[in-house]
Structure 1
Amino acid sequence: MTNQSLNQDKTVAALIHLSTFSMFFFPFGNFFFPLIFWTAKRNDPFVNHHGKQALNFQISLFLYSFFLIMAGVAGALLLGISLDFEGSFYMNEHQQWIGNPFEATPVVVFIMIMLLLLLSLFVLFIYATVSATVRAGEGKLYNYPLCINFLGAEKEPSVRKDAEVPEEQENL
């Protein structure tokens, strides 16, 4: 395998991971663009591994986020319904509270915890995607953390060990 094709494979694998950031510009771009790059060169085992890993991670993050949002809404509703307000709880026309706003503290704390968990998923997305892009650019394999294996990606494919060998050692 020539060095030029190896560099091209590393570039495509890195683009697969970088294309997940397109979700900030296009709805569901984090699924479509990696899928396009992956299917373009999915016959290459190195690109196939990175493509499957990137898509598995995006699907996993989507499911984790969906679950957290649904649990947050359900929990906030259940906590809100179970609160026992003694009087009305609103602001009047003079911007004064009627009722005790501190009775809503459990709901606020629960919502803050859910938002903190969503923020931690976002930080995981940024960190893992940048790490995967760097590793793909170096010609190394990368396995995302907390990734559910939907597309059947292997943990360590038995191919592309030459990608980690420097050029000097290939000529020996």
Structure 2
Amino acid sequence: MAETITKHERNLSAVIHGATLGRFFFPLGQFLFPLIFWLPNRKQYAFVDYHGKQALNFQISMALYALVIGMISFPFFLGFLPDIFEGGIFEWTHGRHGGPFRFNMMDTFWNSPRFWWPLGLTGILELALYAVNIIYTILATLRTSEGEYFKYPLTIPFIK
């Protein structure tokens, strides 16, 4: 199959996959940079069109998964607000010492397992998602440059 695909198509498709790493240089770069290379060339080359869709669908899926993980952890942190504001870290006082606002580091709050396990679990999930994103982006770039049709795992087909 690599014989029917020109070197230009393979390089352009590899650049589309590699351009998703643009998020390290520009906000939303994982979406904008692939679009810059994919949109002008999608009608001319079927190979480029396929890989542009694959790269964008994967990045949209990864962003959606990260959002869902963040939303799952949000209620756990809302449960800590009473501990933070009433007798916890932040206290509103009316005494003469220290003014109306006092910052208090209580050992019981930070040592509480209900504070750390959601943070640790969601942190590990986000880190795993980040690693999957980087590893599969590099793998897709290499396989595409060899002329293979690469399909990302865990991808929701938003763009068809």
Q: How far did residue 89 of structure 1 move?
A: 3.6
TM-score, normalised on structure 1?
A: 0.74
Match of residue 25 from structure 1: 25
Could you list the runs of 5+ residues in structure 2 that have no partner in the other structure?
91-97, 99-103
Match status 1:34 vs 2:34: yes
Match of 1:150 in 2: 158
69-78 or 44-53: bigger deviation: 69-78
Matched residues in 2 for 1:111 and 1:100: separation? Answer: 17
CA distance in 1, matches of 2:132, 2:73: 19
> What residue is the counterpart of 1:123 in the other structure?
131
* Residues 103-139 of structure 1 deviation map (CA, whole Å, 9 limit, x = unaligned): 6211211111001100001000111100100110000
Q: 1:8 and 1:148 mapped to 2: Cα distance?
A: 28
Deviation at 1:38, TM superposition (A): 0.7
Which runs of at least 4 in structure 1 moved beyond 6 Å after TM superposition? none
Tell me how large the CA RMSD over aligned residues is: 2.7
Q: What corresponds to 1:61 in structure 2?
A: 62
C-alpha deviation, 1:76, in angstroms: 1.9
Supply the distance in 2 between the matched residues of 1:69 and 1:45 (Cα, whole angstroms).
Answer: 36
State the partner residue of 1:13: 13
* Counterpart position of 2:74: 73
Residue 165 (structure 1) aligns with? none
| Secondary structure of the corresponding residue to residue 47 of structure 1 | helix
CA contact (8 A) 1:90 1:99 kept: no
1:45 Cα deviation after fit: 0.9
What percentage of residue pairs aligned between the two structures are identical?
34
CA distance in structure 2 between the aligned counterparts of 1:8 and 1:27, rounded to whole angstroms: 28
One-letter amino acid of the structure 1 residue matched with residue 77 of structure 2: A
Moved more, 124-133 or 64-73: 64-73
Equivalent position of 1:166 in the other structure: none
Structure 2 residue 45 is the aligned partner of structure 1 residue 51: no
Alpha carbons 1:65, 1:118 under 8 Å: kept: yes
Tell me the equivalent position of 1:157: none
Deviation at 1:36, TM superposition (A): 1.1
Normalised to the residue count of structure 2, the TM-score between the two structures is 0.79
- Name which of 114, 134, 147 aligns with 1:106: 114
In the alignment of these two chains, the number of paired residues is 145
